[in-house]
């Protein structure tokens, strides 16, 4: 009995996408788990994206709300905008009203990962404010806590992430996720997949 883990994200400059790819690897390292990457739709016109120097999107498929219930567990990823999820991802969540009405996602495990522009830019407020979306759907929030071990206490280098989930700092856009941040993302994928598998097996 295979457990399906969906990794659903929005990424403008590629930082969140890199975390998503590493999370997928971690999830797939768990026997009996299938992981799939999905993007949410872009809401900005190409002209605006061009002025923002946003690179082309990857070939990950675009998800619709109706496809979410197929998953046994979902990890949501997004950049921050003033300490909350980006408008693109919020627009996707706003479109899940039909699922909320039927509670189609209730009881499913969910996790969160993210990127911010600076160390005070929302590494905790971004996932914290996103939990309200999961709560209304009746989803089970799965934080990583301090299960990443020593990596959670790293003080010699800049590192994103928190007990809420994996994270990275984008800075002005030129900084890419560090090896430690990617390792934390892999850990989150593996940790989450193990829980999703256990929950599926108990039903």
Q: What does the pLDDT profile of the chain (203 residues) look like in tens digits?
A: 899 999 999 999 999 999 999 999 999 999 999 999 999 999 998 999 999 988 889 999 999 999 999 999 999 999 999 999 999 999 999 999 999 999 999 999 999 999 998 888 889 999 999 999 999 999 999 999 999 999 999 989 989 999 999 999 998 888 999 999 999 999 999 999 999 999 998 76
The pair of three-digit structure tokens given for residue 188, joined into one six-digit string: 């989150």
Domain that holds residue 12: 3-41+48-201
Q: Which has the closest alpha carbon to 110: 88, 123, 87, 93? A: 93
Interatomic CA distance for residues 151 and 163, integer angstroms: 11
Interatomic CA distance for residues 177 and 157, integer angstroms: 12
DSSP conformation class of 121: S
Interatomic CA distance for residues 65 and 96, integer angstroms: 6
Model confidence, pTM: 0.96
Structural domains of the chain, count: 1
Q: What is the CATH number of the domain that holds 162?
A: 3.40.50.360
The pair of three-digit structure tokens given for residue 146, joined into one six-digit string: 């301090």
Interatomic CA distance for residues 99 and 69, integer angstroms: 8
């Amino acid at each position: 009995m295979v457990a399906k883990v969906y990794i659903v994200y929005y990424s403008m400059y590629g930082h969140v996408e890199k975390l998503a790819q590493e999370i997928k690897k971690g999830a797939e390292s768990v026997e009996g788990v299938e992981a799939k990457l999905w993007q949410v739709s872009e809401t900005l016109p190409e002209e605006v994206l061009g002025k923002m120097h946003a690179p082309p999107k990857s070939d990950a498929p675009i998800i619709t709300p109706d496809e979410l219930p197929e998953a046994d567990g979902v990890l949501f990823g997004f950049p921050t905008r003033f300490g909350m999820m980006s408008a693109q991802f919020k627009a996707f969540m706003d479109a899940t009203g039909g699922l909320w009405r039927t509670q189609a996602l209730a009881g499913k495990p969910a996790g969160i990962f993210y990127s911010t522009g600076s160390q005070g830019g929302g590494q905790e407020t971004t996932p914290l404010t996103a939990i309200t979306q999961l709560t209304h759907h009746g989803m089970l929030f799965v934080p990583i806590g301090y299960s990443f071990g020593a990596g959670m206490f790293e003080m010699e280098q800049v590192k994103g992430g928190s007990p809420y989930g994996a994270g990275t700092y984008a800075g002005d856009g030129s900084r890419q996720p560090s090896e430690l941040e990617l390792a934390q993302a892999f850990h989150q994928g593996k940790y989450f997949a193990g829980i999703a598998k256990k929950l599926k097996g108990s039903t």
